[in-house]
């Protein structure tokens, strides 16, 4: 921003901070520290300020800001040094310190002073009176101070409890009168081309816009003699490119103090000649204003084009014709191709046009009841960006943004312009942006002194606003369309991700990761177990992983937000307040105030955490099935606000996330109940049998299943006798599980009542049939085992429709150990019989379910023969080794995961082991 001071007035301090600065360290060149206040004694004739976020791209943006500012002031001689120093200092702030950077450029009569402030004052605090050790030039940190010492005429560092500021001053070199700039010597091949003699048309335009003088070159270029054009308006000859709904713009350009750009002149032959023009407004000896126009062919623009006016003179180099839109007279050419760039350029041009201290631009919401800050200069932009103010904001003629307004003194009308409260601005002029009579925004400029603006300035600003309103609205609609398309894509992707998991912890992580950094800088998810429970901090995420622990510690010390079911985002001020108090206590400890003299080791973490949560924080309820199950908390860093579009998108996301989180909760509860019931169907620990090795391997097919249709059991019947069983219930689900439980408990009960194997299975068959429609047929191998004193074991088995047990002898032969009989749950009258088997020392009895024998790979099936082949290789192995080898062979038989439950029961009578 620019500001003028009348001679004799004391210069105003451009850095209005609320805290007195601590002792500052200054250097003059590379010499010793020296207190020097001469930089404040010079009259400040212009200034510009900008804030940059703590991201890498801000360094390049800061360089462009300083370069554009100094070039606009005509200080090309010192631009390179200023850009290099600014780049290093902003890098230190946004990359190494991790905070935002505020850059202030001050123009005075003897040079330029640039100040770079960050919000990390504890880095390298020099002690008063001690030399500053800046380290090696190869060291990344501190290099900016070394460059300041090498390039700047004066430089220094100032500290407050909340920020550190590095400043440097570059003095203007002495230049001879009339010298503006000089370019390097170039080879002839690189010089611009000209068609023969370069002709420069000199045309003078009087106050009324008519041609008053026309030189010979103008005659040659356009074919008109002086007599035929003098007295005619230049607009009769100019072919100005225009936008529908706007005026031609030539007359307005002639009223500016200086203008450069491209347009066309219609010649005597009717053809339009593209020209590059330089307009200069002058006064004659009588004080009458007129405009001198120098024109050359557009492709010879190098003759006139001013290299110092990059943004306003960089018109198209194409020889096909002019392409300048009318609003570029105000906005400059080329115009930014994005909305934020266009709005920022607008406020900067408006500030310069009225010689203001600050400027701001607001865009209307869809219902036109509020205005949202979208760009500002000379104001704390990070704090104001996306803040909202009502359209009707005060009494009297200042009460509506729909009409131009001039405020002579804001102190006399408190709250007239809420945006400027507490900024030190006294006078302001605001004008509406309208398209087809509809309010689309507001543009304002302000000054620190009262009574700066009149209706004349308001008309000038309204004229500029009318020229850019259509372009701004078009860019805004384009941005809105992109945001809507992006929002839809974001919500579709979020829904897919949330629907893809039923794990509670993973759902919480997805909720946070989808919001950070897309919607917010940090996120916290609170969950509520039931209506009687307090909200619990379940997940915290920050875009900077180093900030997560500090953020979690801060949030755990404050009360959670109230679980209000009202939809929409509501502001939660507790985190910012707690962060502010924590930062204040840390700063006081660091200064030795009301605390031990030692600086807390957590100062860096505390201040960084305070900056991370110091902005706006909003809470969105997570409501599912008419119950608040949690809160989604989103936050911004210091002085930042949420856009309404972001809040609406976050609200849509919170509804989807709440349903996904509740589904995950219900699934977890159902899974826990299911697993508890399934575990009840498994037998307790297997008993140890003297003289017999027993090993069981059980694999249930299906995710989350612990028990399927297959089951097994081994239990003592009476002294010296044991019962064993392995079975397979037809089907899956609760009905199959019910039959499994019935079979396992009936077997134990009937066997311990003294019934033999056939009687046990016949009574179990009747019990299954009594279940009626819920019954399922069952294949079952049941037996009783008696270990013998000679080391053998006697078994009596009944195989009711189940795969036959296999017996492995010590010599490696394998044979079935029983005969097949009818399965259970089909026939009412069964006549079953039992068979007796004697296992000699070293023999193995292998019992499996059909999931083992029916293992498939394409058209191949393992089958009974394949199982017997594997068992023949298990001679001499323990029961555990036999079961493991069988399971490994079954898994390797096919590449796909098993689709059926599998159970393996191996019993071995120990004998002589093979070497």
Separation CA 240–CA 247 (nearest Å): 10
Separation CA 786–CA 792 (nearest Å): 9
Give the other-Cβ count within 10 Å of 163's Cβ.
20
Separation CA 141–CA 152 (nearest Å): 19
Q: How far is CA 649 from the centre of its chain?
A: 13
Q: What is the largest CA-CA distance in the chain?
A: 140
Strand partners, 463: none
Separation CA 739–CA 841 (nearest Å): 36
pLDDT tens, position by position, 90-141: 888 887 777 888 999 998 877 899 999 987 655 444 443 444 444 444 444 4
Q: Are 592 and 100 a contacting pair, CB within 8 Å?
A: no
Q: Are 347 and 332 a contacting pair, CB within 8 Å?
A: no
Q: Are 544 and 532 a contacting pair, CB within 8 Å?
A: no
Strand partners, 233: 210
E-assigned strands of 387-437?
A: 388-390, 405-407, 427-435
3-state SS string for 570-590: EECCHHHHHHHHHHHHHHHHH
Q: Are 785 and 689 a contacting pair, CB within 8 Å?
A: yes
Q: CB-based burial of residue 440 (10 Å sphere; 0-12 exposed, 13-18 middle, 19+ buried)?
A: buried
**Would you mind telling me the total number of residues written for the chain in this entry?**
915
Q: What is the pLDDT of residue 835?
A: 94
Helix and strand element counts for the chain (H, E): 22, 35
Q: Are 768 and 776 a contacting pair, CB within 8 Å?
A: yes
Q: Are 268 and 224 a contacting pair, CB within 8 Å?
A: yes
Separation CA 771–CA 746 (nearest Å): 14
Using 70 as the pLDDT threshold, list the residues of the chain that sit under it.
1-42, 120-144, 174-186, 189-195, 240-249, 306-337, 366-368, 380-401, 483, 486-487, 583, 586-612, 614, 638-639, 678, 702-708, 732-734, 774, 911-915
Cis-peptide, bond into residue 5, ω within 30° of zero: no
Q: What are the respective helix, strand and coil percentages of the chain, to the nearest 5? A: 35, 25, 40
Q: What is the pLDDT of residue 250?
A: 73
Q: What is the pLDDT of residue 329?
A: 52
Judged by DSSP in three states, 77 sits in: helix
For residue 304, which of 277, 274, 273 has the smallest C-alpha distance?
277
For residue 301, which of 261, 331, 259, 267 has the smallest C-alpha distance?
261
Question: What DSSP string describes 86-136?
Answer: HHHHHHIIIIIS-S-EEEEEEEETTEEEEEEEES-TTTTPPPTTSPP----
Q: What is the pLDDT of residue 14?
A: 39
Q: How far is CA 664 from the centre of its chain?
A: 25
Give the other-Cβ count within 10 Å of 608's Cβ.
22
DSSP letter at 747 equals: H
E-assigned strands of 675-818?
A: 693-699, 710-718, 721-729, 778-787, 793-800, 806-808, 814-816
Q: CB-based burial of residue 257 (10 Å sphere; 0-12 exposed, 13-18 middle, 19+ buried)?
A: exposed
Q: Are 109 and 85 a contacting pair, CB within 8 Å?
A: no
Question: What DSSP string describes 449-502?
Answer: STT---HHHHHHHHHHHHHHHHHHHHHHHHHHHHHHHHHHHHHHHHHHHHHT--
Give the other-Cβ count within 10 Å of 198's Cβ.
13
Q: For helices 879-893 and 863-872, what crossing angle results, to 10°?
A: 140
CA angle 5, 6, 8 (to 5 degrees): 110
Q: For helices 548-556 and 603-613, what crossing angle results, to 10°?
A: 80
Q: What's the pTM?
A: 0.43
Termini Cα distance of the chain: 95
Strand partners, 406: 429
pLDDT tens, position by position, 60-88: 788 888 888 887 777 777 887 888 888 88
Q: What is the pLDDT of residue 87?
A: 84
CA distances (Å), 307 to each of 46, 327, 397, 815, 910, in order? 21, 21, 45, 100, 100
For residue 388, which of 398, 373, 374, 401 has the smallest C-alpha distance?
373
Which residues lie below 8 Å from residue 775, measured CB to CB, with a gap of 6+?
A: 739, 768, 769, 825
Q: Are 112 and 75 a contacting pair, CB within 8 Å?
A: yes
Q: Give me Rg for the CA atoms of the chain.
A: 43
Q: H or E stretch including 554?
A: helix 548-556
Strand partners, 716: 722
Separation CA 145–CA 525 (nearest Å): 43
DSSP letter at 503 equals: -
Separation CA 195–CA 296 (nearest Å): 11
Separation CA 182–CA 815 (nearest Å): 105
Q: What is the pLDDT of residue 92?
A: 83
Instruction: Kindly compute the dihedral angle of the four CA atoms of residues 563, 569, 574, 575, in this order, to the nearest 10 degrees.
Output: 110
Give the other-Cβ count within 10 Å of 67's Cβ.
17
Question: What DSSP string describes 246-260?
Answer: S---HHHHHHSSEEE
Q: How far is CA 121 from the centre of its chain?
A: 27
Which residues lie below 8 Å from residue 836, measured CB to CB, with a gap of 6+?
A: 794, 795, 796
Separation CA 622–CA 633 (nearest Å): 10
Separation CA 788–CA 840 (nearest Å): 10
Separation CA 271–CA 167 (nearest Å): 56
Instruction: Kindly compute the dihedral angle of the four CA atoms of residues 535, 539, 545, 551, in this order, to the nearest 10 degrees.
Output: 10
Q: H or E stretch including 893?
A: helix 879-893
Separation CA 339–CA 344 (nearest Å): 9
Separation CA 749–CA 717 (nearest Å): 9
């Amino acid at each position: 921003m620019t500001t003028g001071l009348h001679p004799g007035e004391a210069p105003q301090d451009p850095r209005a901070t609320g805290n007195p600065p601590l002792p500052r360290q200054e250097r003059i060149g590379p010499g010793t520290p020296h207190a020097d206040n001469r930089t404040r004694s010079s009259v400040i004739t212009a200034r510009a300020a900008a804030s940059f976020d703590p991201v890498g791209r801000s360094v390049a943006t800061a360089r462009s800001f300083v370069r554009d500012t100094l070039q606009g002031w005509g200080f090309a001689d010192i631009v390179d040094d200023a850009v290099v120093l600014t780049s290093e200092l902003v890098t230190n702030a946004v990359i190494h310190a991790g905070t935002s950077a505020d850059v202030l450029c001050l123009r005075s009569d003897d040079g330029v002073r640039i100040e770079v402030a960050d919000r990390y004052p504890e880095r390298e605090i020099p002690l008063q009176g001690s030399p500053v050790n800046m380290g090696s030039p190869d060291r990344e940190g501190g290099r900016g101070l070394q460059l300041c010492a090498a390039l700047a005429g004066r430089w220094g560092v100032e500290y407050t409890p909340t920020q550190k500021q590095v400043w440097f001053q570059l003095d203007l070199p002495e230049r001879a009168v009339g010298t503006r700039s000089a370019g390097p010597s170039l080879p002839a091949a690189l010089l611009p081309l000209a068609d023969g003699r370069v002709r420069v048309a000199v045309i003078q335009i009087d106050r009324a816009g008519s041609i008053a003088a026309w030189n010979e070159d103008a005659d040659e270029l356009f074919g008109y003699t002086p007599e035929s054009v003098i007295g005619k308006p230049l607009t009769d000859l100019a072919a100005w490119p225009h936008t529908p709904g706007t005026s031609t713009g030539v007359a307005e350009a002639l009223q500016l103090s200086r203008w450069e750009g491209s347009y066309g002149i219609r010649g005597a032959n009717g053809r339009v000649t593209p020209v590059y023009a330089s307009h200069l407004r002058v006064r004659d000896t009588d004080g009458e204003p007129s405009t001198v126009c120098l024109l050359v062919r557009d492709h010879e623009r190098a003759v006139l084009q001013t290299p110092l006016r990059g943004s306003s003179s960089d018109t198209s180099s194409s020889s096909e014709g002019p392409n300048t839109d009318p609003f570029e007279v105000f906005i400059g050419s080329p115009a930014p191709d994005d909305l934020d760039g266009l709005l920022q350029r607008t406020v900067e041009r408006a500030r310069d046009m009225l010689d203001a201290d600050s400027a701001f631009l607001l865009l209307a919401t869809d219902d036109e009841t509020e205005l949202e800050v979208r760009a500002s200069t000379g104001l704390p932009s990070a704090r104001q960006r996306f803040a909202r103010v009502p359209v009707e904001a005060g009494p009297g003629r200042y009460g509506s943004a729909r009409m131009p307004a001039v405020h002579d003194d804001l102190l006399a009308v408190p709250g007239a312009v809420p945006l400027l409260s507490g900024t030190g601005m006294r006078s302001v002029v605001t004008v509406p942006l309208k398209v087809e009579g509809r309010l689309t925004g507001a543009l304002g400029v302000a000054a620190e002194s009262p009574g700066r603006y009149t209706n004349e300035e308001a008309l000038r600003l309204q004229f500029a606003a009318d020229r850019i309103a259509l372009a701004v609205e078009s860019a805004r609609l384009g941005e809105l369309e992109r945001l809507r398309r992006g929002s839809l894509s974001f919500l579709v992707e979020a829904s897919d991700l949330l629907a893809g998991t039923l794990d509670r912890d993973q759902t919480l992580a997805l909720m946070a990761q989808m919001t950070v950094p897309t919607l917010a800088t940090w996120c916290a998810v609170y969950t509520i177990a039931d209506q009687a429970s307090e909200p619990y901090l379940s997940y915290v995420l920050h875009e900077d992983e180093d900030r997560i622990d500090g953020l979690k510690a801060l949030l755990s010390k404050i009360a959670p937000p109230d679980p209000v079911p009202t939809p929409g985002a509501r502001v939660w001020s507790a985190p910012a307040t707690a962060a502010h108090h924590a930062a204040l206590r840390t700063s006081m400890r660091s200064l030795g105030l009301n605390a031990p003299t030692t600086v807390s080791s957590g100062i860096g973490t505390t201040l960084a955490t305070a900056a991370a949560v110091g902005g706006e924080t909003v809470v969105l309820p997570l409501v599912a099935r008419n119950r608040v199950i949690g809160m989604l908390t989103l936050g911004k860093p210091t002085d930042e606000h949420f856009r309404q579009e972001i809040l609406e998108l976050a609200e849509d996301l919170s509804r989807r996330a709440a349903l996904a989180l509740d589904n995950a909760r219900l699934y977890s509860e159902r899974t826990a109940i299911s697993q508890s019931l399934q575990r009840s169907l498994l037998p307790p620990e297997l008993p140890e049998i003297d003289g017999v090795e027993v090993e069981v391997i059980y694999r249930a097919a299906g995710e989350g299943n612990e028990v399927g249709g297959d089951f097994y059991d081994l239990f003592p019947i009476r002294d010296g006798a044991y019962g064993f069983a392995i079975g397979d219930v037809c089907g899956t689900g609760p009905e199959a599980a019910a039959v499994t439980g019935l079979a396992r408990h009936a077997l134990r009960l009937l066997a311990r009542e003294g019934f033999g194997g056939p009687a046990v299975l016949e009574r179990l068959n009747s019990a299954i049939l009594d279940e009626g429609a819920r019954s399922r047929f069952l294949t079952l191998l049941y037996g009783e085992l008696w270990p013998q004193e000679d080391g053998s074991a006697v078994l009596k088995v009944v195989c009711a429709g189940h795969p036959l047990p296999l017996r492995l002898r010590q010599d490696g032969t394998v044979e079935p150990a029983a005969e097949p009989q009818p399965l259970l749950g089909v026939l009412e009258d069964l006549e079953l019989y039992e068979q007796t088997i004697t296992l000699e020392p070293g023999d193995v009895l292998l019992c499996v379910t059909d999931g083992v024998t029916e293992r498939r790979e394409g058209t191949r099936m393992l089958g009974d023969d394949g199982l017997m082949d594997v068992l023949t290789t298990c001679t001499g192995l323990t029961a555990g080794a036999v079961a493991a080898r069988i399971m490994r062979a079954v898994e390797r038989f096919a590449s796909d995961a098993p689709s059926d439950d599998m159970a393996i029961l191996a019993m071995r009578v120990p004998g002589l082991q093979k070497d």
